[in-house]
Structure 1
Amino acid sequence: MLLLAAFSYASVPPVEITEVQVNGIGLSEDHTTRLSIERGEYLNLWIRLEALEDAKDIQMRVFIDGYEHSRLDDIADQTGVFDVEESVEYIKRLKVKLPSNMDRDNYKIKLFVSTRDGYVREYYYNILVDVPRHSMIVRDIALNPEYRIRAGSYLSAIVRLQNTGARDQRGVKVTLQIPELGVAASDFVNKVEGGDSISTEEIAVRIPECVESKEYEMTIKVEFNDGYDSITSTHKIFVVESDLCEVPEEPVEKVIISMPSVKETAKVGERVTFTAAMVNTGKATKTFILRAQGAEWADVQMSENLVVLKEGESKVVFIYATPKEGTAGTNVMVFSIESEGEIVKEVPLTVKVEEAPVQPDKTVDNLRAALEIGIIVLVVILVIIVLILAFSKVKKK
């Protein structure tokens, strides 16, 4: 009696599948009309089920048998366990991928609903796995070296292709490229018959010498169907730094300042001149402020005290010092150059002052005499012009 009760409990279905869709198309259980799906595609199953009673630990599993390599690559998916309440509908989703090398044939989608205590309900849906008109896959890649490669050396690859489409492919282009390094190389395969596999010739690219040591992404792009279709396979390689790469030293950003003379001799009232040549050897524009400190013993002037130098530009600055009365002896002032709030250079300038009476400036006297002579000449010329005009008027009368 107990065995009969247990059998009756296990035979009562706790849930019932009321609708199944594959890639948005509704399927009927064991219907004679088959759904055609190309190999290499995904089957997205949308399942509606109704709970006929309260139940716990239910699980759904979908699978397709008959694939030659199913032991290693099973075509299956399943839900986690779930509970249901009577008179409630539930939606479940499952997903499987059809291998690209699956035989063209009729198959059954097998959908199982089971419980922990042994109940199993099976549903079967007919499909036709078809062959796409144009399709190719990268079966394998033989790299030399396989992963780690030294910068400055060559990376070669032999690519194994398979035509998984119904049509033969001609003029298949295979390109190896490392986008981040800007290197690429290509090879052409004349013909690949439907269902056949073929290997390319060796494709090689040279890794630049001076590149960062790190992992890079390498891609294999296959163009077929007269270039209208393509597939891409991505792989990783690690580039090791090369000993051949000489990293150039960064140029030192500096300003060259030279002063031919820092010592002069002068008499009181006599002006002396110091010269400072400045050259900007850097790439950035520099601004300099020029100052003379400790020069109370002289009247000091500069040709300019704010200097702006662009890249590679040079300029000459003149510092004029005229010793004052009572400053005989050795006198020193400090010529300083500042940039961005920092002292770039400080140069002591020394003037030995000799006591002597200030002589009149002969140049000024000569200029004054020349001006006086010029004015006299102009007056004489004006008088002559007036006399000529007056004489002309008298003659006409």
Structure 2
Amino acid sequence: MVNEYNYSKKDKISNKEKKQRGQKMKTAKILIALMLTIALAGIAHALPLTIEDVQINDVTLNQDTENALSLQRGEDYEVKLKVSSEEELTDIKIEAFISGYDNEEEQISDSTELFDLEPETTYIKTLKITIPENLETDTYLLRIMATDRDNDELIQNYKLKIDAPRHKLIVKDVIFRPSGEIKAGTSLLATVRLKNEGQKDQKYVKVKISIPQLGIEGTDYIDEIKKDEEQETEEIYMKIPRNAETGTYEAKITAKYSEYKTTSSTYTIKVRADEEYTENPQPEIIITQLTQEEPVKAGETATYPIAITNQGKNSRAVALIPQQTDWAETTLSESTIVLQPEQTQTTIATIKVKKDTPAGKHATSITIIAGENQKQITLTANVTKEEKSLKGILETALIIFIILLVVLGIAMGVTKLQKKEDYY
């Protein structure tokens, strides 16, 4: 009895284990099947699409060999695709990209919008890619990838050579001093750094920086920039106009090199208005013409007093420059004067009229310069011819009278002679 009991107990345990093992095997098979399903679902199937032709700037690319096409850094290129399908396809997207460029913010790629394909129809799609200026010269793969929403895809690769142009300069950086906000009426210094990304050295590079809205510019020259090297200008000086308003202004940097090639870049500066500036300030130098027009005979002189007053708080130097004309010579008693605050000084302008100057009004000018300000005043000479004296008039009349008497005497003599001839 004991043996039978023990035997039946063993049989009972064995059946239980078999049942558990069967359940485990079943569960394992389900898991394996599920994993295979997931894995197969993740596998991309070949998209039934044909890329008939790939062109860059009208040059057809070949998949099998390196293409005889050199792309230059810093240039834009058009990628034209011809695609077709024997089946009807929906939600197709085609992307062109060059891998191997380590810059997440600037990718070399472009893609189409989603589109559908009808069977036996050729579609033309155009993409654009930009080759970065800092991409190393080498051979890269242009990848054309077509996908649909079911994760089917088609990828084709094309070898391209990225080269550097013969002549290529770029504006690498600009340093402004002061670097932040600049006050109107103060100086702005700028240093421009250029990089030569071409195959040839560049000499005598002209660098100009201008702020058109403020009407200012400055220029400097760089003697030489060797290929793959950088050089910077000396400090370029500009002065912000005192009447400049608060705001942000564009500064354009232009570099001219290799005769007719140029490169340019745009930066911004911030200007703070000068609160002490007034649009119509009271002039510090006052000029008063005591006389503007004088009568004068040809060959004689006329004088014009000019009073100059300094109303400013500091001493001021004033320069006077006369205009020279073909009808007179203008001189000044002082061509340069220094005025203390609240001081007035009179300068005499003398105009010597030439003898052959025709009668009438003739004008000349004097330019008066005080610092950055200048003014031009006009002096007019009313030229008259020299009048003859009474004695001269009488002498002329007497001569004419004598000539008339002589002529009359000759006429009477001729008349008498004719009468005698008639008598005989």
> Structure 2: which amino acid aligns with 1:49?
V
Tell me the residue number matched to 2:152.
119
Shift of the 215–32 alpha-carbon distance from structure 1 to 2, 3 Å rule, reads closer
Shift of the 206–86 alpha-carbon distance from structure 1 to 2, 3 Å rule, reads same
Cα-to-partner distance string for 1:92-150 (whole Å, 9 max, x where unaligned): 12111111122222222111111222212111122211111110001111222345322
Q: Of the candidates 261, 264, 278, which is equivalent to residue 246 of structure 1?
A: 278
> Structure 2: which amino acid aligns with 1:219?
K
Tell me the residue number matched to 1:128.
161
Cα-to-partner distance string for 1:354-395 (whole Å, 9 max, x where unaligned): xxxxxxxxxxxxxxxxxxxxxxxxxxxxxxxxxxxxxxxxxx
Q: Distance in 1 between matches of 2:179 and 2:48?
A: 55
Q: Normalising to structure 1: TM-score of the pair?
A: 0.57
- Paired residues of 1:171 and 1:189 also in contact (CA < 8 A): yes
Q: Distance in 1 between matches of 2:183 and 2:220?
A: 24
1:12: Cα distance to partner? Answer: 4.9
Structure with the largest fraction of strand: 1
Question: 1:180 is paired with a residue of what secondary structure?
Answer: helix
Verify: 1:223 aligned to 2:284, yes or no.
no
Q: Distance in 2 between matches of 1:165 and 1:56?
A: 45
Q: Distance in 1 between matches of 2:216 and 2:83?
A: 55
Q: Of the candidates 110, 127, 131, which is equivalent to residue 77 of structure 1?
A: 110
Tell me the residue number matched to 1:299.
none
> Structure 1: which amino acid aligns with 2:249?
Y
Percent identical pairs in the alignment equals 33
Shift of the 12–104 alpha-carbon distance from structure 1 to 2, 3 Å rule, reads closer
Cα-to-partner distance string for 1:229-274 (whole Å, 9 max, x where unaligned): 1111112223221124222179xxxxxxxxxxxxxxxxxxxxxxxx
Q: Distance in 2 between matches of 1:86 and 1:147?
A: 62
What are the equivalent positions in structure 2 for 1:335-374 lying under 5 Å apart? none
Structure with the largest fraction of helix: 2
1:73: Cα distance to partner? Answer: 2.4
Q: Of the candidates 40, 44, 50, which is equivalent to residue 78 of structure 2?
A: 44
What are the equivalent positions in structure 2 for 1:88-237 lying under 5 Å apart? 88-146=121-179, 148-225=181-258, 227-237=259-269
Tell me the residue number matched to 1:338.
none
- Paired residues of 1:138 and 1:161 also in contact (CA < 8 A): yes
What are the equivalent positions in structure 2 for 1:385-396 lying under 5 Å apart? none
Question: 1:124 is paired with a residue of what secondary structure?
Answer: strand
> Structure 1: which amino acid aligns with 2:263?
I
> Structure 2: which amino acid aligns with 1:18?
E
Cα-to-partner distance string for 1:174-202 (whole Å, 9 max, x where unaligned): 11111222211112212211001122222
Aligned length in residues? 246
1:35: Cα distance to partner? Answer: 0.9
Cα-to-partner distance string for 1:142-177 (whole Å, 9 max, x where unaligned): 222345322101222221210001111112121111
Tell me the residue number matched to 1:348.
none
Q: Distance in 1 between matches of 2:203 and 2:280?
A: 48
What are the equivalent positions in structure 2 for 1:254-333 lying under 5 Å apart? none
RMSD across aligned positions (CA): 2.6
> Structure 1: which amino acid aligns with 2:88?
D
1:50: Cα distance to partner? Answer: 0.5
- Paired residues of 1:114 and 1:121 also in contact (CA < 8 A): yes
Q: Of the candidates 2, 13, 18, which is equivalent to residue 47 of structure 2?
A: 13
Cα-to-partner distance string for 1:39-78 (whole Å, 9 max, x where unaligned): 11112111111122122222111111233x3334221122
Q: Normalising to structure 2: TM-score of the pair?
A: 0.54
> Structure 2: which amino acid aligns with 1:111?
I
- Paired residues of 2:253 and 2:266 also in contact (CA < 8 A): yes
Q: Distance in 2 between matches of 1:11 and 1:224?
A: 53
Question: 2:213 is paired with a residue of what secondary structure?
Answer: helix
Q: Distance in 2 between matches of 1:79 and 1:16?
A: 16
> Structure 1: which amino acid aligns with 2:95?
R
> Structure 2: which amino acid aligns with 1:37?
L
> Structure 2: which amino acid aligns with 1:185?
G
Tell me the residue number matched to 1:64.
98
Question: 2:264 is paired with a residue of what secondary structure?
Answer: strand
